[in-house]
Amino acid sequence: MKIAIKEDILKEEDRIGAENRREFLARGVAAFNLIGSPGSGKTSLIEAAYRELGGELAIGVIEGDLASDKDTVRLRNLGLPALQINTGRGCHLSPLMIKKALPEIDLAALDILIIENVGNLVCPVSFDLGETAKIGLISVAEGDDKPTKYPLLFREAEVVVLNKIDLVPHSDFDREAFYSGLRAINPAIGVIEISCRTGEGVEEWGSWLRERVSSPAGR
Ligand SMILES: Nc1nc2c(ncn2[C@@H]2O[C@H](COP(=O)(O)OP(=O)(O)O)[C@@H](O)[C@H]2O)c(=O)[nH]1
Ligand SMILES: [Mg+2]
C-alpha cells in the first residue's frame, strides 16, 4: 500500500514536471536545473552567468534553500530578478514548488531561468522540474571522487561544471582520477572547468548557455 501511494505521488510529480516544461517551451524560456553540493558555488556560477550574458540575454532565477533569502538578496543586489523558495526540511525542489512559483515570474520577459536547487548531490536528481537541462556542479574542494560516489547526477546532467579550479594547486585534487571516474559513468559528457573567483572559464560557461538557449527543445 505504502509503495503504491509513493508511486502515485511520483507519477503526479512527473505530470507536473511535464506541465512546467510545456510552459517553458511556450514562453521560449530555457530552464536550467542547477544541482551541486552546498558551497560548491551554485550562486557564484549564476552571478558569473549574469556578468557574462546579462547584457544580451534576460536571466531570471529561482533559489531553493531550506531557509533564508540570503542568495536571493545577493542576486537581486546584482540586478537579477530572483525568487526564493524555502523547503523547510525538504532536500530538493519539487515540480509542484516550481509550478506554484511560476505565476510570480514574468516568463515572457526571460530567455533563461536558472533554478538553483537545494544543495545536495542526491535527492534533486530524482525530480524532473521541467527543465531544459540539468547542470551538475562540483568543486575542486569536494574531492575528485564525487562522480564515482554520486553517479546519478553525472549520468543525468547534460554538462558538468568543475568549479574552484584556482584551488587545484592547493589541494590533492587529481584531475586524471576525476576524469576517469566521470568518464566511467558518462563517457560523452562535456566538462567546463571554471573559477568563479578568478574568472577563468567563465567565457566558456557563457558560450555553453548561449548555445543551449538557441536550441531549447533539446539535443
Ligand atoms: N576559491 C574559490 N572559491 C569560490 C569559487 N566559487 C565560489 N567560491 C566560494 O565558495 C563559497 C560558496 O559559494 P556559493 O556560490 O555561495 O555556493 P552555493 O552554496 O553552492 O550557492 C563562497 O565563499 C564563494 O566565495 C571559486 O571558483 N574559487
Ligand atoms: Mg547558493
Rounded Cα distance, 75 and 105, in Å: 15
pLDDT along the chain (219 residues), means of 10: 74 95 97 98 98 96 97 97 97 98 96 98 97 98 97 98 98 98 97 98 98 74
DSSP-assigned states of every residue in 80-126: --EEEEE-TT-SS--HHHHHHHGGGS-GGG-SEEEEE--S-SSGGGG
The pLDDT of residue 106 is 95
Q: Which one-letter DSSP state was computed for residue 1?
A: -
Describe the crossing of helices 42-53 and 70-78 by its angle, rounded to 10 degrees: 10
Domains of the chain: 2-213 (3.40.50.300)
C-alpha R_g of the chain = 17
Cα(21) to centroid(ligand 2), Å = 24
Using an 8 Å Cβ cutoff, are 157 and 136 in contact? yes
Q: Which residues are in the CB-under-5-Å shell of ion ligand 2? A: 42-43, 71
The pLDDT of residue 163 is 98
Cα(40) to centroid(ligand 2), Å = 8
Using an 8 Å Cβ cutoff, are 144 and 61 in contact? no
Q: Is 196 in the pocket of ligand 1 (CB under 6 A)?
A: yes
Sign of CA dihedral 40, 66, 98, 185: positive
- List, in order, residues 6 or more apart from 159 with CB less than 8 Å away: 133, 135, 136, 189, 190, 191, 192, 208
Cα(193) to centroid(ligand 1), Å = 14
Amino acid sitting at position 96: L
Cα(23) to centroid(ligand 1), Å = 32
The pLDDT of residue 4 is 76
Nearest ligand to the C-alpha atom of residue 41: 1
Using an 8 Å Cβ cutoff, are 45 and 161 in contact? yes
Q: Is 190 in the pocket of ligand 1 (CB under 6 A)?
A: no
The pLDDT of residue 145 is 98
Using an 8 Å Cβ cutoff, are 173 and 163 in contact? no
Please state the pTM of the whole predicted model: 0.96
The pLDDT of residue 199 is 98
Tell me which residue of 204, 183, 156 sits closest to 45, measured CA to CA. 204
